[in-house]
C-alpha cells in the first residue's frame, strides 16, 4: 500500500475529527487501514485469532491515545503497522502455540482467475507456508516489502532498524525462501515447477 | 562480474519481474546478460528469483481482499463511543474541579494574608519615646537591639497586659525602671505567650543567669540587684549573637 503526502494530510484531519469525538473520523480511518493492518498481522503470524486480537488492540490504542501518533514521524499506516507488529509478537510469545495457517482454511480466494488456476493457488499457498516458516526478522520484512509493498525505508521505520539492515534481511529472506521451496519441492534441481509441486501434508486452502 | 556480485544485484532488485523490469544501466545489464550466458548456475538462479518474485506478487494479489471481520469494527466503534462519552464527562468534571480549586486557592490566600497581617502587626513596630521631647516615633524591631523586661530590676508587677502591649505607652514609660530611662528609650515587654518569628533562623534558649549577665547583654539593670538570678529566654541569631532577652515569670518557669 503506497502512502503519499496527501494521505498524511487526510489522516491528520481524520485524526483531529476523531480526537474531537467525531465517530466519522474514526470510522474513516478504520476503514482505510483495517485491511492492511489485519493482513499484515495475519501474514506475519498466520493465526487468525492472534491477527484479529492484534488488529483490535492496535486500533484501541489509537482510540485511547491518538496523540501518541505524530505525523512528522511518518504516515499513520506505518505507526499502526509498528503497533500491530509488537502486539503480534507479544501474543505469539504469550500463546507460545505456533501453528501457522491452522485457521487459514476458510480464507476466501480473491480473484476468479486464481480460483480457476489451481496451480497458482497452490503455489501461493506453498509460498505462504514457506514465509511463515522463516525466522521472525526475515518474515516481517518479506511481508512488509513484498506483500504490503512498503519501501525499504518505510519497512525500516516499522521494524525500527536501519535501511541497510532491512535490505540485508530481505536478501537473506529471499535466499531462505528459495532454499525452503527447493527442499519442499521435488528435491531435484530447480525447474519450472518450483512453486507448483506441492508437498504432502499441506492440504489447507488459502 | 562474479557469481556473488550477480546474485547481489539480482536480490537487490525491487522489481517484481526479472529481467523485464530490470532497471540498470545498459552497460551493467549487458554484463549481467553476459554472465548469465556464460554461467549456467547463475542463469538457473536468475530463473529461480524471477519465479519467486512472481509468486510473491501472486500471493500479494491473492490476499488483497482480506479484511478484518465486521465484528471487530463493531467492537471498536462501541469502545470509541464509550471513550468519547467518558472524555466529554471528564472535560466537564475537570472544568468544575478547576473552578473549585481556584476558589479554594483564593480563599486560602486571603486567609493566610489576613493571619500574617494580624500576626505581624503587634510586633512589626515598636514605639520609641524620649523623655526629653515626649515625641513618639515608630521604629522597626531590628533597630531595638534588646527586647527586655522593663522590670530588669525584677519588678514583674509592673508588666503591662500581654494581650495589648502597645495600649499604654505613656504608662509604660512611667513604669520603666531607672535603667530604662537612663538608656533614653522604653523597652517593651515581649509577653511569654508571644511566639517569636524565627523565619530568619536562630533559636530561643531558656537559661537561668545572674542579673549582671543581663547587663553584659546590654540590658540596663539596677546595680543593687546584680547578684540576683533570673530566668530568661534568650533569642539568638543563626550566628549565636543575642538578638533579644525575655524574662520569664516565676510561675511560667514552674511549668
Cβ partners under 8 Å of residue A92, min gap 6:
A45, A47, A50, A98
- B84 and B136 co-located in one domain: no
Q: Which residues of A touch B73 (CB under 8 A)?
A: 30-31, 34
pLDDT tens-place values along chain A, 206 residues long: 655 666 777 888 888 888 888 888 899 999 999 999 999 999 888 888 889 999 999 999 999 988 888 888 888 999 999 999 999 988 877 766 555 544 444 444 454 554 455 666 777 788 888 999 999 999 999 999 989 989 888 999 999 999 889 988 988 898 899 888 887 764 333 344 444 333 333 222 33
Per-residue pLDDT at A36: 93
pLDDT at B221: 77
User: What is the architecture, at CATH level 2, of domain A5-95?
Assistant: Orthogonal Bundle (1.10)
Distance from the A28 Cα atom to the nearest Cα atom in chain B, whole angstroms: 11
Q: What is the CATH number of domain A108-184?
A: 1.10.10.10
* pLDDT, position A126: 84
CB contact under 8 A, A63 and B48: no
Res B250: pLDDT: 66
Secondary structure of residue B205 in the 3-state scheme: strand
**Residue A119: predicted pLDDT:** 66
- B173, B113: one domain: no
| Long-range contacts from A20-24, C-beta under 8 angstroms, 24+ separation | A21/B84, A21/B87, A21/B88, A23/B77, A23/B80, A23/B81, A23/B84
Could you tell me the three cell numbers for B165? 502591649
Tell me whether A178 touches chain B (CB under 8 Å): yes
Of A110, A127, A175, the CB nearest to B55: A127
pLDDT of residue A185: 62
Same domain as B150, residue B220: yes
Hey, of B16, B66, B69, which one would you mutate to test binding to chain A, going by the most A CBs within 10 A of its CB?
Answer: B66
**Grid coordinates representing B186?**
522604653
* Residues A109, B48: C-beta atoms closer than 8 Å: no
pTM given for the model? 0.55
The C-alpha cell that represents B53 in the structure block? 518474485
CB of A4 within 8 Å of a chain B CB? The answer is: no
Domain that holds residue B36: 3-62
Q: What per-residue confidence (pLDDT) applies to B243?
A: 74
pLDDT score at B150: 37
Q: Which of B55, B63, B68 sits opposite A52 (nearest CB)?
A: B68
Q: How many domains does chain B have?
A: 3
Do B201 and B245 fall into the same domain?
yes
The CA dihedral of A94, A97, A103, A105, to the nearest 10 degrees, is: 150
Low-confidence ranges of chain B (pLDDT < 50): 14-22, 123-194, 253-255
Residues B145 and B250 in one domain: yes
Residues B90 and B112 in one domain: yes
Q: What is the pLDDT of residues B136-182, one digit of tens each?
A: 444 334 433 344 443 343 334 344 444 444 444 444 434 433 333 33
For chain A, positions 68-107, list CB contacts with chain B under 8 A. Answer: 107
Q: Which chain A residue has the Cα nearest residue B42?
A: A190
CA gap A29, A194 in Å, rounded: 40
Task: Report the alpha-carbon distance of residue A184 to residue B49 in Å, rounded.
Answer: 16
Q: Does A147 touch chain B (CB under 8 A)?
A: yes
**Same domain, yes or no: B182 and B201:** yes
- B84/B49 same-domain check: no
Q: How far is A73 from chain B (nearest CA, A)?
A: 24
ipTM over 0.90: no
- Beta carbons within 10 angstroms of residue B233's beta carbon: 17
Q: Are residues B160 and B231 in the same domain?
A: yes
pLDDT of res. B106:
93
* B238 and B167 co-located in one domain: yes
Domain ranges of chain A: 5-95, 108-184
The pLDDT value given to residue A2: 59
Amino acid at each position: 500500500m503506497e502512502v503519499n503526502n496527501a494521505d498524511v494530510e487526510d489522516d491528520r484531519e481524520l485524526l483531529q475529527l476523531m480526537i474531537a469525538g467525531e465517530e466519522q473520523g474514526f470510522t474513516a480511518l478504520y476503514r482505510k487501514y483495517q485491511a492492511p493492518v489485519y493482513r499484515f498481522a495475519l501474514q506475519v503470524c498466520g493465526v487468525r485469532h492472534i491477527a484479529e486480537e492484534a488488529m483490535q488492540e492496535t486500533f484501541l490504542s489509537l482510540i485511547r491515545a491518538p496523540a501518541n501518533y505524530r505525523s512528522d514521524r511518518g504516515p499513520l499506516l506505518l505507526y499502526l503497522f509498528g503497533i500491530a507488529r509488537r502486539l503480534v509478537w507479544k501474543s505469539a510469545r504469550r500463546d507460545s502455540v505456533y501453528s501457522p495457517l491452522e485457521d487459514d482454511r476458510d480464507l476466501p480466494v480473491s480473484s476468479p482467475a486464481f480460483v480457476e488456476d489451481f496451480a497458482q493457488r497452490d503455489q501461493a499457498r506453498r509460498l505462504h507456508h514457506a514465509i511463515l516458516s522463516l525466522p521472525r526478522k526475515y518474515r516481517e520484512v518479506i511481508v512488509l516489502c513484498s506483500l504490503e509493498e512498503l519501501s525499504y525505508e518505510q519497512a525500516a521505520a516499522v521494524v525500527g532498524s536501519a535501511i541497510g539492515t532491512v535490505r540485508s534481511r530481505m536478501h537473506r529472506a529471499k535466499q531462505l525462501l528459495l532454499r525452503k521451496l527447493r527442499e519442499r519441492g521435488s528435491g531435484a534441481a530447480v525447474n519450472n515447477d518450483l512453486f507448483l509441486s506441492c508437498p504432502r501434508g499441506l492440504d489447507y486452502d488459502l | 562480474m562474479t557469481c556473488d556480485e550477480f546474485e547481489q544485484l539480482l536480490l537487490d532488485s525491487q522489481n517484481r519481474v526479472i529481467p523485464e523490469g530490470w532497471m540498470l544501466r545498459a552497460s551493467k545489464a549487458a554484463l549481467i546478460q553476459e554472465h548469465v550466458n556464460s554461467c549456467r548456475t547463475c542463469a538457473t538462479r536468475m530463473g529461480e528469483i524471477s519465479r519467486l518474485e512472481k509468486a510473491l506478487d501472486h500471493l500479494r494479489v491473492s490476499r488483497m481482499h482480506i479484511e478484518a471481520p465486521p465484528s471487530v469494527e463493531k467492537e471498536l466503534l462501541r469502545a470509541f463511543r464509550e471513550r468519547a462519552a467518558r472524555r466529554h464527562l471528564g472535560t466537564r468534571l475537570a472544568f468544575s474541579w478547576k473552578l473549585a480549586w481556584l476558589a479554594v486557592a483564593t480563599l486560602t490566600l486571603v486567609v493566610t494574608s489576613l493571619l500574617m497581617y494580624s500576626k505581624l502587626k503587634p510586633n512589626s513596630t515598636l514605639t520609641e519615646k524620649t523623655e526629653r521631647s515626649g515625641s513618639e516615633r515608630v521604629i522597626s524591631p531590628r533597630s531595638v537591639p534588646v527586647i527586655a523586661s522593663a522590670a530588669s530590676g525584677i519588678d514583674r508587677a509592673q508588666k503591662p497586659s500581654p494581650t495589648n502591649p502597645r495600649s499604654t505607652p505613656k504608662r509604660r514609660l512611667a513604669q520603666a525602671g531607672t535603667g530604662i530611662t537612663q538608656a533614653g528609650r522604653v523597652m517593651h515587654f515581649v509577653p511569654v505567650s508571644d511566639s517569636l518569628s524565627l523565619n530568619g533562623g536562630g533559636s530561643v534558649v531558656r537559661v537561668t543567669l545572674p542579673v549582671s549577665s543581663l547587663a553584659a547583654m546590654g540590658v540596663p539593670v539596677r546595680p543593687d540587684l546584680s547578684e540576683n538570678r533570673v530566668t530568661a529566654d534568650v533569642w539568638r541569631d543563626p550566628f549565636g549573637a543575642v538578638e533579644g532577652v525575655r524574662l520569664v515569670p516565676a510561675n511560667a518557669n514552674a511549668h
